[in-house]
């Protein structure tokens, strides 16, 4: 009874990555989808459920031709547009870097600002060698002044530049909260639409390995009420690259949440240019019995729990919500209509976290479809302790997820 993961079309397998203990050995994500060819206005839209849409106009026909060409050179391809291209393997931080590099090549307005991003190469190596390639004016080392360099990024974005502001740790961006809330989120509205702020604010957050309370913060819960921003959380190299590129291309301010412990995940991703939709959730494992909603690192805890659950005879549907603001209520709603039970597994604290908002949103919209109250598993409302054992108990563990699902499905 190996874990059966349904995928539509040819799916590429992940190489087993021993670097993270919580990643299951054989890990199939939803299959690679088609791409947007660089610099050509593409009309290929990719959905996470596997369907591909083409616009019926001449541009799309051109894109289709280009699509065919790109695939035709590969040898053993049976499925039409799904990627039979073996792609290349890389780690998550490399995927982020690839996305960033490709966007910087594509658009000269993209620049990166942050502490140690330039000469040092980034504290998590996401911007390694970019300063050498693009120069000091495009990859800027800032002093340790989050409030002002975030403000500067927003000011630059008002004129049309597309800065990518890196917080060395998401927790440091609390110092820039005023700039993010008032200027980044609200300027498009208070100026009556005159200014757009195409900024990307990114950085690692979440509970790491004994980093202490101040370096283990989950800022998505603090930023979620700011109107005007979009928040996304990446969890695999595939969606990290895709979300990074989509965030840079978006005209809205996007906050991209990465996780300190996920930077060394390895996966095979396509060679072609692709982006992931910013407002869409990812179906990780379709199922029938219960919907498990999760994001970022907790996805891996959930998948580990899913293995146990499958062995016990349950069929969980796992959705990585990816888009933390706005929620993809369409995918979530369809799942709730199918399974009638929801478990939310998140890393935010119980009070005021993403799970709390998601619970409210699902209850408001889909109450009629629920057979049982929504179970929300979140971190404890405590500052993250240093001691390893205590830290483990602040976040949700796979065993707790299994218990919760069993309880819910009685």
Partner 1 sequence: MALSYLRSSSSRSVNLLKPLSSSLPLRRPISTDTTPITVETSVPFTSHQCDAPSRSVETNPKELLTFFRDMALMRRMEIAADSLYKAKLIRGFCHLYDGQEAVAVGMEAAITKKDCIITAYRDHCTFIGRGGTLLEVFAELMGRQAGCSKGKGGSMHFYKKDSNFYGGHGIVGAQVPLGCGLAFAQKYSKDETVTFALYGDGAANQGQLFEALNISALWDLPAILVCENNHYGMGTAEWRAAKSPAYYKRGDYVPGLKVDGMDALAVKQACKFAKEHALKNGPIILEMDTYRYHGHSMSDPGSTYRTRDEISGVRQERDPIERIRKLILSHDLATEKELKDIEKEVRKEVDDTITQAKESPMPEPSKLFTNVYAKGLGVESFGADRKEVRATLP
232 lines the binding site for partner 1 (CB under 8 A): no
278 lines the binding site for partner 1 (CB under 8 A): yes
Cα 36 from Cα 59, distance rounded (Å): 12
Among 29, 30, 34, 42, binds partner 1 (CB under 8 A): 42
405 neighbors 309 (Cβ within 8 angstroms): yes
302 neighbors 318 (Cβ within 8 angstroms): yes
Nearer to partner 1, 3 or 175 (CB): 175
277 lines the binding site for partner 1 (CB under 8 A): yes
Please write down the long-range contacts of 207-212, taking CB distance under 8 Å and 24 or more positions apart: 207/261, 207/297, 207/347, 207/379, 207/384, 207/391, 207/394, 207/395, 208/260, 208/261, 209/261, 209/388, 209/391, 210/386, 210/387, 210/388, 210/391, 211/260, 211/384, 212/384, 212/386
Among 4, 56, 76, 143, binds partner 1 (CB under 8 A): 143
Among 34, 43, 239, 357, binds partner 1 (CB under 8 A): 43
Among 9, 10, 17, 55, binds partner 1 (CB under 8 A): 55
Nearer to partner 1, 36 or 265 (CB): 36
Nearer to partner 1, 151 or 206 (CB): 151
* Cα–Cα separations (whole angstroms), residue 156 to 113, 159, 161, 163, 294: 11, 6, 6, 7, 34
Nearer to partner 1, 245 or 266 (CB): 245
Q: How is residue 2 annotated by DSSP?
A: P
Closest approach, Cβ 392 to partner 1, in A, equals 36
135 lines the binding site for partner 1 (CB under 8 A): no
156 lines the binding site for partner 1 (CB under 8 A): yes
Cα 78 from Cα 171, distance rounded (Å): 47
167 lines the binding site for partner 1 (CB under 8 A): no
Question: In degrees to the nearest 10, what's the CA dihedral of 62, 67, 72, 76?
Answer: -160
Cα 359 from Cα 357, distance rounded (Å): 5
159 lines the binding site for partner 1 (CB under 8 A): yes
Q: Which stretch binds partner 1 (CB under 8 A): 97-105, 121-129, 176-184, 300-308?
A: 176-184
32 lines the binding site for partner 1 (CB under 8 A): no
- Structure tokens of 336? 């709730």
Residue in this structure with the two tokens 């993270």, named with its chain if needed: 20
Closest approach, Cβ 393 to partner 1, in A, equals 35
- Pattern 188-227, partner 1, x by CB under 8 A: xxxxxxxxx------------------------------x
Closest approach, Cβ 27 to partner 1, in A, equals 26
Closest approach, Cβ 270 to partner 1, in A, equals 16
Q: How many residues bind partner 1 (CB under 8 A)?
A: 61
Residues sharing a CB contact under 8 Å with residue 327, sequence separation 6 or more, in sequence order: 281, 321, 357, 358, 361
Cα 219 from Cα 242, distance rounded (Å): 22
147 neighbors 172 (Cβ within 8 angstroms): no
145 lines the binding site for partner 1 (CB under 8 A): yes
Cα 15 from Cα 89, distance rounded (Å): 8
198 neighbors 157 (Cβ within 8 angstroms): yes
Among 17, 20, 123, 365, binds partner 1 (CB under 8 A): 365
Q: Which stretch binds partner 1 (CB under 8 A): 272-280, 307-315, 336-344, 383-391?
A: 272-280
Question: In degrees to the nearest 10, what's the CA dihedral of 156, 219, 185, 254?
Answer: 60
- Pattern 280-299, partner 1, x by CB under 8 A: x-------------------
**Residues with a known catalytic role:** 146, 215
**Site for partner 1, rule CB under 8 A:** 36, 41-43, 45, 55, 111, 137, 140, 142-143, 145, 147-161, 178-179, 182-183, 187-196, 227-228, 230, 246, 249-252, 275, 277-280, 326-330, 333, 365
């Amino acid at each position: 009874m190996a874990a059966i993961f349904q995928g539509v079309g040819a799916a590429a397998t992940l190489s087993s990555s021993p670097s993270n203990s919580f990643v299951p050995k054989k890990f199939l994500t939803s299959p690679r989808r088609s791409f947007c060819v660089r610099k050509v206005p593409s009309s290929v839209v990719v959905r996470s459920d596997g369907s591909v849409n083409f616009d019926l106009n001449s541009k799309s026909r051109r894109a289709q031709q280009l699509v065919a060409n790109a695939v035709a050179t590969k040898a053993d391809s049976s499925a039409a547009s799904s990627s039979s291209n073996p792609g290349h393997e890389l780690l998550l931080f490399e995927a982020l870097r690839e996305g960033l590099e490709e966007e910087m090549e594509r658009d000269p307005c993209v620049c990166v600002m942050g502490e140690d991003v330039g000469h040092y190469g980034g504290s998590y190596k996401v911007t390694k060698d970019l300063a050498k390639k693009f120069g000091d004016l495009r990859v800027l080392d800032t002093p340790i002044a989050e409030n002002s360099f975030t403000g500067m990024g927003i000011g630059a974005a008002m004129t049309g530049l597309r800065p990518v502001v890196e917080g060395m740790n998401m927790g440091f961006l609390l110092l820039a909260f005023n700039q993010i809330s008032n200027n980044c989120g609200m300027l498009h509205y208070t100026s009556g639409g005159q200014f757009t702020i195409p900024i990307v604010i990114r950085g690692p957050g979440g509970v790491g390995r004994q980093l202490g309370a101040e370096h283990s913060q989950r800022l998505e819960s603090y930023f979620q009420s700011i109107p005007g921003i979009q928040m996304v959380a990446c969890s695999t190299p595939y969606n990290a690259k895709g979300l990074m590129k989509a965030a840079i291309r978006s005209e809205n301010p996007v906050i991209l949440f990465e996780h300190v412990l996920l930077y060394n995940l390895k996966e095979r991703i396509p060679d072609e240019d692709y982006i992931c939709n910013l407002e869409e959730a990812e179906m990780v494992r379709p199922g029938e019995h219960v919907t498990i909603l999760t994001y970022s690192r907790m996805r891996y805890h959930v998948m580990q729990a899913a293995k146990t659950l499958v062995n016990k005879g349950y069929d969980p549907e796992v959705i990585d919500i990816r888009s933390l603001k706005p929620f993809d209520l369409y995918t979530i709603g369809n799942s709730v209509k199918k399974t009638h039970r929801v478990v939310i597994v998140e890393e935010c604290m119980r009070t005021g976290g993403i799970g709390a908002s998601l619970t409210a949103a699902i209850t408001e919209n889909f109450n009629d479809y629920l057979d049982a109250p929504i179970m929300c598993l979140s971190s404890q409302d405590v500052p993250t302790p240093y001691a390893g054992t205590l830290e483990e108990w602040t976040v949700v563990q796979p065993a707790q997820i299994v218990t919760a699902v069993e309880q819910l499905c009685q």
